[in-house]
Structure 1
């Protein structure tokens, strides 16, 4: 190892060499300009100039030499450190350190999962002897999560899976025997109001607010479809508020209930709907006054279709003669589903002359509807009861038809009526005890919605489209009549 003194000697030697070089240059310059004889005034001026230059060089060069770094030898010291002993948690069988979680992929089987983890097939068959394991894991669903307790260099110790949203099952292998443990998982159910503006897309805004696809379908197909045309009526600033119950577990949203109540404000007009179940019936949606929102008949038994021919006298497109058109035609692509206009019994389903494939429904009280020119019938047969909205067939061009369309007729006691203008009696409203219970439920839901909307839309000024907020409502007061 070279000492620091050796470094100082090399530095001193470098300075001396620079001094010699400097003196040599100055000597040569002076000799070139000094006269051999008597000096003149000009010679003295040159001598003074060279002397000044020499002084400057003498000042700068030593500083430059000091600025040049000289690499110095560095000393190194090696220390011996004692490291802590490694933890043997994987070897001593600490279960919490060895869980491997597998999320089932589409097409994946239990056998392929065991093979990927290197677990013998015999172990899998031993586990499947447990009825619960066989029932839960015999047919896997994509997204399902399975846990494996696999200690290092050891065999499978415990298998776990969720039997349902609130129960986890652990099946341990102890000395070749199966030991099952069911663990209850705590869940929390909250009533919330999901609110938002339509923005550019109702579906996108509703999903961003927290509504499920089923919730959105309830808004458009069950609650407001008789009052709002979702294809043409909506504007970006129109808003919706929906009351649902959400179930959470360990910070994870497990499920969202059907829509309990909803309001929709379109062009400043408020529409509302509330879910209620009559004794012995099924859940329905009612107006704030207790009238069913579901009308007796759907005006258009086919969605997203164009009316191609109205009710009344016209020249027949095939026969070429003037005759009464006893229904309404809706042009649509072949295969478009056709729905029952109302709850009914199937009176006829088959071929009927110029109508082609036809279905006739009897709705009671002398009301019947006819659907003609179908490409094929739905899964129905004469005498069967069907609910409003049931698919009874598909658009076609059978019979006397020039193109795919639905011919739809409405008859009252055998007399043809215009389906677009016929007035139907309103459905029977709630009354008595049912109406009182319904109003209690309605008041609670409306209070929740008003609280949220007052926070979000207090200024009633146009806001940024698709501004959504989810607010957890307070617990319902005691005595709430929960239905459905």
Structure 2
């Protein structure tokens, strides 16, 4: 190699020596860019490695070229402008203030004011909460055993209040812009259909309980068929009934019973069927309403002491004279209901009738309620079917506490227990086809389940 260089012309030798010297100087100078090796053993260089999840701090004055290796690193890096100084900008999302929840179980004698005081909240906060009308309405119904849940922020201020109204609904009161606003949080309910059958051996009530029905379900069945069947007097041993009803679940957990969807009652060999329509009323298969314009009896009575009788011997005077109504015996103070919608045409007192109320129902019908202990309506009042118009008593010429009830059609007294009652409005021609389709399915389910039950028992 040296001989080859010596054979070159003098000018070429000088040029080659100059290039070699310059190259050596460049190689000996320190580099301005250092790359940290993953396998380096230098602790200082190891600290320069990018760590997943850590922010990479870049000096403001630094300039760098983005290499392909840097673009693919797992560390999060700010973008770098090669023509200007890089700046680190921190962007933070709003953080919800931390809240602390605590619960309170309502005790007998508690009031909302006392509960707030025990939980450490001021009367001012109580006042603001109760300014929400919906919340105030529900808090007035607090019962022992109910639970309230309070949420406070880091300043110990009430930010939310929760009250479980039912297994399905929860009242939520939230602080928004300095005031409290309420809403009802309703859980999704899953509905399953169930069936029950019973034959009466002692009483309708016992038969229902033995069939696994609740008190409310038993009363619902009595209400459905109560316009056609007198459940105090008409029932016989061997009567039977079957029912399809809803069972409600929330998150797979049973929470209660829903509506009666269809029912059948066989009373003294006569069959009655009722199917729930979307309007909330019950109808027979032909679309006729189960609900009549009048209740068969206006009071929940213990027994009947005297029936309608055109030639009855009066127990006080001993004179044979017509008994133009029915006497229902029940405890003093038992609520008396208007048997139908109408207008009060008399509400007064005399020595014979005691406290009494007369109601006009349309043009043809009048009902009379005698011997009340208290009247709750006055002349001219309009009433709906089932409205409480007074309390059972023993005022006037009587031998004991009872309600004397009369039913007049076109001014003529009729027996309230067997008079043909006008029906409520039936389904119209447009509603009937869709209803009948559902009704036939429901009744088929009733019959199939009834046969299966009887075959297995």
TM-score category by the smaller chain? 0.5 to 0.7
Shift of 1:272: 2.2
C-alpha separation between the residues in 2 aligned to 1:334 and 1:168? Answer: 39
How many angstroms apart in 1 are the aligned matches of 2:127 and 2:226?
A: 49
Partner of 2:76: none
Contact 1:337/1:395 (<8 A) preserved:
yes
Q: 1:415 & 1:201 partners in 2: Cα distance?
A: 35
Alpha-carbon distance in 2 for matches of 1:422, 1:178:
59
**Residues 162-216 of structure 1: CA deviation (Å, up to 9, x unaligned):** 587456748599xx99999999665133142242536877657757877665443
**What SS does the corresponding residue of 2:435 show, helix, strand or coil?**
helix
With over 3 angstroms needed to count, the CA separation of the structure-2 counterparts of 1:395 and 1:180, relative to structure 1, is closer
Conservation of the 8 A alpha-carbon contact between 2:294 and 2:339: yes
Give runs of aligned pairs for residues 55-94 of structure 1, distance below 5 A: none
Output the CA distance in 1 between the equivalents of 2:222 and 2:247: 19
Higher deviation after alignment, 323-332 or 288-297: 323-332
Of 102, 106, 109 in structure 2, the residue corresponding to residue 107 of structure 1 is 109
CA RMSD of aligned residues (A): 4.6
Specify whether residues 289 and 460 from structure 1 end up closer, same or farther in structure 2 by C-alpha distance, changes over 3 A only: farther
Maintained 8 Å contact 1:244/1:261? no
**Which residue of structure 1 aligns with residue 264 of structure 2?**
263
- Structure 1 CA distance, aligned partners of 2:233 and 2:220? 16
Q: In structure 2, what is the Cα distance between the partners aligned to 1:339 and 1:444?
A: 36
Q: Which secondary structure state, in structure 2, belongs to the residue aligned with residue 459 of structure 1?
A: helix
CA distance in 2, matches of 1:111, 1:356: 46
TM-score (norm 1): 0.57
Residues in 1 aligned to 2:237 and 2:404: alpha-carbon distance in whole angstroms: 32
The 1-side partners of 2:215 and 2:324 are apart by: 38
- Equivalent of 1:304, from 297, 302, 305? 302
Asked if 1:136 is matched to 2:132, the reply is no
CA contact (8 A) 2:344 2:381 kept: yes
Q: 2:226, 2:296 within 8 Å by CA — same for their partners in 1?
A: no
In structure 2, distance between residues paired with 1:127 and 1:301? 44
2:334 aligned partner: 336
1:432 to partner: Cα distance:
0.8
* Distance of 2:389 and 2:157 partners within structure 1: 54
Structure-1 residue corresponding to 2:373: 375
TM-score (norm 2): 0.60
Are 2:386 and 1:389 aligned?
Answer: yes
Task: Out of 128-137 and 418-427, give the one that drifted further.
Answer: 128-137
Question: What SS does structure 1 have at the residue aligned with 2:404?
Answer: strand
Say whether the 8 Å CA contact 2:230–2:296 is kept in structure 1.
no
Task: Give 1:380 deviation, angstroms.
Answer: 1.6
- 1:116–1:251 CA distance, 2 compared to 1 (3 A): farther
Deviation, 1:359, is 2.0
1:227 aligns with 2:229: yes
Aligned equivalent of 1:398: 395
- 1:295 is matched with 292
Distance (Å, rounded) in 2 between the aligned partners of 1:203 and 1:309 = 24
Q: Distance in 1 between matches of 2:365 and 2:449?
A: 44
Equivalent residue runs for 1:234-245 within 5 Å: 238-244=240-246
Whether the 8 Å CA contact 2:246–2:261 is kept in 1: the answer is yes
Q: Which has the higher contact order (CA 8 A, sep 6+)?
A: 1
> Which residue matches 2:408?
411
TM-aligned CA deviation for residue 373 of structure 1 = 2.6
Structure 1: any 5+ residue segments left out of the alignment?
Answer: 1-93, 462-484
Aligned equivalents of 1:101, 1:359: Cα separation in 2: 51
After superposition, what is the alpha-carbon deviation per residue over 1:353-408, rounded to whole angstroms, capped at 9, x for unaligned? 6333222222234222322232322x222233323333333333333333333333
Matches within 5 A, 1:463-478: none
Quote the residue 1:76 is aligned against: none
Give the Cα–Cα distance (whole angstroms) in 2 for the partners of residues 157 and 328 of structure 1.
Answer: 60
State how far apart, in whole Å, the 2-side matches of 1:369 and 1:130 are: 48
After TM superposition, the structure 1 stretch with the greater mean CA deviation from structure 2, 287-296 or 322-331, is 322-331
Give the distance between the partners of 2:179 and 2:328, measured in 1 at CA: 64
Q: Evaluate the alpha carbon distance shift between residue 385 and residue 107 of structure 1 in structure 2; reply closer, same or farther with a 3 A threshold.
A: same
Alignment partners' CA distance in 1, 2:415 and 2:178: 74
Which residue of the partner structure matches residue 91 of structure 1? none
**Alignment partners' CA distance in 2, 1:392 and 1:184:** 37
- State the distance in 2 between where 1:298 and 1:178 align: 48
